[in-house]
Amino acid sequence: MPTQRLTDLPDAVRRLIEKVSGPIVDVGNINAGLNSAIAARVRTPEDTLFVKGLPMDHPRVWTQNREAQISPYLRGIAPELLWHIEEDGWSLLGFEYVNGGHADFTPKSRDLPAVMATMRRLAKVPAPALELKSMPHRLRTFVDDPADLSWFAGDSLLHTEWNPHNVLVSGDRALFVDWGWASTGAAWIDPALWLLWLIAHGHTCDQAERASATHPAWALAPAEGLNALARVQRRLWDSIAAESTDDWANPMREAARSWEEHRR
């Protein structure tokens, strides 16, 4: 369920931010992402920050902790985390503000090489010793044969949420945001999940697979594992699209169906 986004910063939140970053001179709302009660551009005399927050009693407040814990491992891959505050009933994360736009995932987009360059950096990060969700666990309700889950096991650090709203492009650099669902699993899962978004943005299945094939882990992806993931993603997006009004739910359902048929 999306969380209702607050359009003004509550006084308590304003005070907490000012305590660590100095007086706020301007606040701008962010029109993307649905899960945070607070997602704002905050300017102080010295800095511009991106502040993301949830009340401490929110069922997904663990995602804030996950983002805070993982941030030190993501230099050059994600915007830098400047602080994490848990006070007065709020969990707040203050990030370096990225002045950029969401990635363009359409065919021939000039953003694609930048996105892949950052994915390659991510592929080199050893999975940190943190408690992360595992892909077999996350996908367990979408397989019809539980044996398929073993394809998804691995110890690579994966982002997994390749909505272009989570990819900020500034100049020729792409940075990935929204690490609350970072997971461990087989290294090829990230490029394979990314290609569904490429298909949803107009790539053919072949074009999308060719783009993913520039990821170092792609050559190691077993065809059976990819086929199993295609089946799982089809079920997952069928179920998301049945319940969601998000703009991308139907295109992603169609993309997942196309890819599953392509892999048959």
Ligand X SMILES: Nc1ncnc2c1ncn2[C@@H]1O[C@H](COP(=O)(O)OP(=O)(O)OP(=O)(O)O)[C@@H](O)[C@H]1O
Residue 33 interacts with Mg ion (CB under 5 A): yes or no: yes
Residue 176 interacts with ligand X (CB under 6 A): yes or no: no
Site for Mg ion, residues 173 to 212, rule: CB under 5 A: 178
* Sheet (strand 81-87) strand order: 26-29, 38-43, 48-55, 90-96, 81-87
Residue 60 interacts with Mg ion (CB under 5 A): yes or no: no
Residue 90 interacts with ligand X (CB under 6 A): yes or no: no
- Least Cα distance to 256 among 227, 235, 228 occurs for 235
Site for ligand X, residues 16 to 45, rule: CB under 6 A: 30, 32-36, 39
Q: How far is the CB of 140 from ligand X (least distance, A)?
A: 22
Q: Which does 130 bind (CB under 5 to 8 A by kind): Mg ion, ligand X, none?
A: none
Residue 66 interacts with ligand X (CB under 6 A): yes or no: no
Q: How far is the CB of 166 from Mg ion (least distance, A)?
A: 5
Site string for ligand X, 148-167 (x = CB under 6 A): -----------------xx-
Q: Is the dihedral of CA 245, 251, 254, 256 positive or negative?
A: negative
Task: List interacting residues with ligand X (CB under 6 A).
Answer: 30, 32-36, 39, 50, 52, 79, 95, 97-98, 165-166, 168, 177-178
Task: List interacting residues with Mg ion (CB under 5 A).
Answer: 33, 166, 178
